[in-house]
Amino acid sequence: MTLLIAVLSGFLLAPFAPVIHRALGRFSGWLIAVLPASLAALFLLLAGRGEGVVVESHAWMPGLGANLDLRLDGLSLLMATLIAGIGAAIFVYAGGYLAGHRHLGRIYAYLLMFMGSMLGVVLADNLIVLFVFWELTSVSSYLLIGFEHADAKARKSALQALLVTGLGGLAILAGALLLGSAAGEMRISQLSLHREAIREGGLYVPIVLLLVFGAFTKSAQFPFHFWLPSAMAAPTPVSAYLHSSTMVKAGIYLLARLTPALGDTALWNGLLTWFGAATMVVGAWLAFRQTVMKLILAYSTVSALGTIVMALGVGTTYAVEAAMVFLLAHAFYKGALFMVAGAIDHETGEKDVTRVGGLRRSMPLLAGAGVLAALSMAGVPPLFGFIAKELTIKAALPDAGVGREGYALAGVVVVSAALGVAAALRVGVAPFFGVKRETKREAHEPPASLLLGPGVLALLGLGAAVLPGALATPLVEPAASAALGGPAQPQVALWHGLNLALALSAGALALGVALFRGQWAIVGLAEPASRPLDAIGPSRLYEHGLAALLGFADAQTRVLQSGSLRRYAFITFGVIVLAVGATFVLRRPLDALPDIGDARPYEIGLVLLILVGAWFTAVARNRLAAIAGLGLVGYGIAIMFVLFGAPDLALTQVCIETLAVVLLVLVFYMLPDFRSFSTRPQKVRDVLVALAGGAAMAGLVLVVADHQPDMTVSDYYAANSYGLAHGRNVVNVILVDFRALDTLGEIVVLVVAAVGVYALMKLDPTTREGASAGGERGGEG
Amino acid sequence: MNSTILRTATRYLLPLLLVFSIVVMLQGHNKPGGGFIGGLIGAAGFALHGMAFGPRATRTALRADLVVVMALGLAFALVAGSLALASGQPFLSGLWVSVPFPGFGEVKVGTPLVFDIGVYFVVIGVVMTIVLSLLEENA
């Protein structure tokens, strides 16, 4: 139960977050942070016991092979600890950052939901459960990005993130189902036992393509990276949490999780290595071009995610270890830098790096956190980022598992790292040094709530490097061995001796400092070349694709939903006539007219009555007469039901007919006079369609009468109506018991329809005055 | 419509129709009827009232906001279904208890009846929303 409660606790607390906030005011963030903090402690405690793997299974939908299987192993532990630990810092930070915001309580609720979803993703041991939580992270991310929903840009960005990651989610679902059927197993931890079956089942390629696609969209890999910078429309606590340290790592988590089952093939390694490398360098360059702090950080996050994916793609033991170390290091420094950038914005009102400088005097503590985190990102010893960078370079270099292309890969890593150094200095160091600049608000040290998160994370980046045995290895080693499906011994140490990787790391640092100094000159030179690239970038493709989709929806709506009742009727009956007619021509079900027995005189009389009603409706010269004619048809059919032993149907028909007459009278009352707009050919056409429609329906009825349907289901209902459901009226028993779910769906549809009618009648701006004069709502008496 | 005959008739017809609608709803499990038909009959009664006295008077006579009526109906149906969940059976399974009823002997009461009451309310709420919206448009 422990893991299940851990996953659900966020969802359970979420509805109460606004209440807690209302009760506690400015200290609410600190209190809510207690939940994630204790969850982080819980995970560490659980992992510390015994073999460090906790497994739970709860029945959920056993018939569908979807059980709530949860599992905490090394990889889950790394992710879950990050999610809960950074989450605790984020709640405190959000309380300070959004202090006084009208909807602070609401963002706590969204963040709690997100945390629960994310824990679900990393603790799920069942493909379906993983998918469900995966989708929940997309949904809660949508709510968080669109938090400032009055802002059109925030809404657009939220939708973009939802569509891109939602598309990926569909691919994950398809991939997970294929994988589950190929392996004959939905438990993720058992998949690697079936790796041969998966590989040889013929579905390996689609499985990999679908799952990698889904993971790439979530982890913002090129060419799906564009949603992440747009997502910066979210408040900074959200960016720091979702878009640097947790949600964007869900894709990486999935790839690492599936490596034992799917990895180690040319397809897998090639896809991950080269898309990862492309993302790494594209992201680094785009970060280099930016001046808005959050965008620099967003693009450099894209770059870092690419680095991790590339390392997973290289796939050697060493590279997977490097990926895990890098993941942890990045979570520390990037989370800290986002919170620093947010704090600068909060205290000075400036978001652009070119508009701030010399802030160290007015905010020394924040400057300390920013510089420490930035140096870690730049890969300066003795910080954790230095270790991560050296390991990553070494992982790319030619080795037992990497061929000569390793030199090219290492080169790309070094260039990206150098660009990353420049970005790190620009965001984390430059604002605090140099000439003091005038800012929108007088700069001063932010409150404790804004300092705690960045401070702790920046210090962790130092501590993990100085005391790796205490702070880094216990998390990284089990994670790497889980991702490898075998033992791992990451060499988390500051000093590995003099070697090529160390030299390249130092080279990247030096190159990065040079790039930082010449940044604006280089960007200015490159601008003419990058502008045409922007025009064909994936973000434009997304916009064009979305516009095309909406355009298509618009066009086909205009054709099909003309708003003309006659046209609807024409299309509907035309299709029926064509479809039924074609079947009659092809299958000839009615070669001989079936024997329907002798008609009794009163039955013939009734039919004649109905025919007269129909004729009268068609030729009536005013609406009331037409309605009366239609009513005659309807009541005639009701009597028919009575004659043939269907009293329930007859009762319903009478009621419906009565109300229909009332409704028609009310509607027609509003219409202009009855006039004929049809030309003669149109009338002929309409008559033909009507007659053909009638003939098709009559033919269908005859076929049904002639046909002996399978009565198994009907017989079952009739036989068990009283025994099982205690009712003698089979029709009603079917409605409220045997098929109650259908009925439930139908009454929901009815209510939705009523809401629609209400909206049409009451909310139309042209009639609003009339409606309010007629009494807006009941209940006033 | 300002008709004395219609108004007078409605005064007597509406209660009759409502009682009839409830009877039809309750007897539905064993004889023709049920929540859907009962709801339609009840709605027909209120529609008659609306035409005789005008939509505003009908909204007053209904006493409850129609949105509440519809929500109540859905809630009845959902609760009826969820009771089975609470007792460990699939959603919407019928549960029955026998209640001694003086003069009638044992009367069986089950969640399908609760469900049907939900249908009854939904149908009344939906039909009356449409009818009254249209009536107010004409007013």
Tell me what ipTM this predicted complex has. Answer: 0.90
Given a cut of 60, whether residue A29 has pLDDT beyond it is yes
- The alpha carbon dihedral of A395, A399, A402, A405 has a sign of positive
Question: Which of A183-187, A679-683, A700-704 comes out lowest in average pLDDT?
Answer: A700-704
Given a cut of 80, whether residue A331 has pLDDT beyond it is yes
| Cα–Cα distance, A389 to B22 (Å, whole number) | 76
- For the ranges A393-407, A481-495, A622-636, the one whose mean pLDDT is highest: A622-636
Given a cut of 80, whether residue A456 has pLDDT beyond it is yes
SS3 content of chain A, % helix, strand, coil (to 5): 75, 5, 20
pTM over 0.90: no
Tens of pLDDT, residues A175-190: 999 999 898 888 898 8
Say whether B37 and A780 touch across the interface (CB within 8 A).
no
Q: What is the pLDDT of residue A91?
A: 93
DSSP B96: E
Question: Which of A527-536, A537-546, A654-663, B114-123 comes out lowest in average pLDDT?
Answer: A527-536
Q: Are A721 and A713 in contact (CB under 8 A)?
A: no
Q: What is the pLDDT of residue A509?
A: 86
| Cα–Cα distance, A528 to A55 (Å, whole number) | 56
Q: What is the pLDDT of residue A770?
A: 44
Please indicate if any CB of chain A lies within 8 Å of the CB of B83: no
- Mean per-residue pLDDT for A21-38? 89
Say whether B132 and A648 touch across the interface (CB within 8 A).
no
Q: Which of A676, A708, A700 is nearest to A579 (CA)?
A: A700
Q: What is the pLDDT of residue A765?
A: 60
The number of C-beta contacts closer than 8 angstroms across A and B is: 170
Say whether A751 and B78 touch across the interface (CB within 8 A).
no
Q: Give the angle subtended at the CA of A773 by the CAs of A767 and A775, to the nearest 5°.
A: 105
- Which of B47, B125, B139 is opposite residue A774, by nearest beta carbon? B139
Tens of pLDDT, residues A477-500: 888 888 888 888 877 777 777 788
Say whether A751 and B74 touch across the interface (CB within 8 A).
yes
* Residue in chain B lying closest to A779 (CA): B65
Say whether A754 and B125 touch across the interface (CB within 8 A).
yes
- Which of B37, B94, B130 is opposite residue A757, by nearest beta carbon? B130
CA distance A639 to chain B (A): 15
Q: Give the angle subtended at the CA of B26 by the CAs of B21 and B32, to the nearest 5°.
A: 80
Say whether B134 and A762 touch across the interface (CB within 8 A).
no
SS3 at position A292: strand
Say whether B116 and A652 touch across the interface (CB within 8 A).
no
Q: Which amino acid makes up residue A339? A: M
Please indicate if any CB of chain A lies within 8 Å of the CB of B30: yes
**Which residues share a beta bridge with A601?**
none
SS3 at position B64: coil
Say whether A740 and B92 touch across the interface (CB within 8 A).
yes
Q: Collect all residues of chain A within an 8 Å Cβ-Cβ radius of residue B34.
A: 648, 729, 731-732, 735-736
Task: Considering only CA atoms, give the Rg of chain A.
Answer: 34
Average pLDDT, chain A: 86
- For the ranges A327-341, A513-527, A717-731, the one whose mean pLDDT is highest: A327-341
Given a cut of 80, whether residue A270 has pLDDT beyond it is yes
Strand bridging mode B96-101 / B105-110: antiparallel
Given a cut of 60, whether residue A773 has pLDDT beyond it is no
- Mean per-residue pLDDT for A596-603? 81
CA distance B90 to chain A (A): 11
Residue with tokens 């999610």: A83
Say whether B59 and A744 touch across the interface (CB within 8 A).
no
Higher pLDDT, A153 or A588: A153
- Mean per-residue pLDDT for A282-307? 91
What are the structure tokens assigned to A523, written together? 């960007």
Say whether A662 and B47 touch across the interface (CB within 8 A).
yes
Given a cut of 80, whether residue A520 has pLDDT beyond it is yes
Q: What is the pLDDT of residue B14?
A: 94
Say whether A747 and B94 touch across the interface (CB within 8 A).
no
Distance (Å) of CA A730 to CA A366, A641, A717, A722, B29: 74, 16, 7, 8, 8
What is the DSSP code string of A534-589?
A: HHTSHHHHHHHHHHHHHHHHHHHHHHH--S-HHHHHHHHHHHHHHHHHHHHHHH-T
Confidence of residue A774 (pLDDT cuts 50, 70, 90): very low
What are the structure tokens assigned to A424, written together? 């790190």
Confidence of residue A664 (pLDDT cuts 50, 70, 90): confident
DSSP B101: E
Q: Collect all residues of chain A within an 8 Å Cβ-Cβ radius of residue B30.
A: 727-729
Q: What is the pLDDT of residue A464?
A: 87
- Which of A731, A751, A778 is opposite residue B122, by nearest beta carbon? A751
* Residue in chain A lying closest to B131 (CA): A663
| Cα–Cα distance, A779 to B62 (Å, whole number) | 8
Q: What percent of chain A has pLDDT over 90?
A: 36
Say whether B32 and A750 touch across the interface (CB within 8 A).
no
Q: Which of A261, A298, A300 is nearest to A280 (CA)?
A: A300
- The alpha carbon dihedral of A633, A639, A641, A643 has a sign of negative
Q: What torsion do the CA atoms of A691, A697, A699, A703 make, to the nearest 10 degrees? A: 180
Say whether B92 and A762 touch across the interface (CB within 8 A).
no
- Which of A666, A731, A754 is opposite residue B129, by nearest beta carbon? A754
Given a cut of 80, whether residue A280 has pLDDT beyond it is yes
CA distance B58 to chain A (A): 9
Task: Give the number of other Cβ atoms within 10 Å of residue B121's Cβ.
Answer: 24
- Which of B32, B68, B133 is opposite residue A647, by nearest beta carbon? B32
Please indicate if any CB of chain A lies within 8 Å of the CB of B42: no
| Cα–Cα distance, A413 to A405 (Å, whole number) | 12
Q: What is the pLDDT of residue A47?
A: 83
Say whether A662 and B131 touch across the interface (CB within 8 A).
yes
Q: What is the pLDDT of residue A560?
A: 80
CA distance B26 to chain A (A): 11
Tens of pLDDT, residues A613-622: 999 998 888 8
Best probe of the B interface among A750, A752, A755, A777, by most B CBs < 10 A, is A750
pLDDT in tens, chain B (139 residues): 678 999 999 999 999 999 999 999 988 888 888 889 999 999 999 999 998 999 999 999 888 899 899 999 999 999 988 888 887 777 878 788 777 777 767 777 788 889 999 999 999 999 999 999 888 877 6
Q: Collect all residues of chain B within an 8 Å Cβ-Cβ radius of residue A733.
A: 29, 112
- Could you tell me where the beta strands, DSSP code E, fall in B2-127? 96-101, 105-110
Given a cut of 90, whether residue A644 has pLDDT beyond it is no
Q: Collect all residues of chain B within an 8 Å Cβ-Cβ radius of residue A757.
A: 129-130, 133
Given a cut of 80, whether residue A673 has pLDDT beyond it is no
What are the structure tokens assigned to A267, written together? 């397809």
Say whether B119 and A736 touch across the interface (CB within 8 A).
yes
Q: What is the pLDDT of residue A764?
A: 61
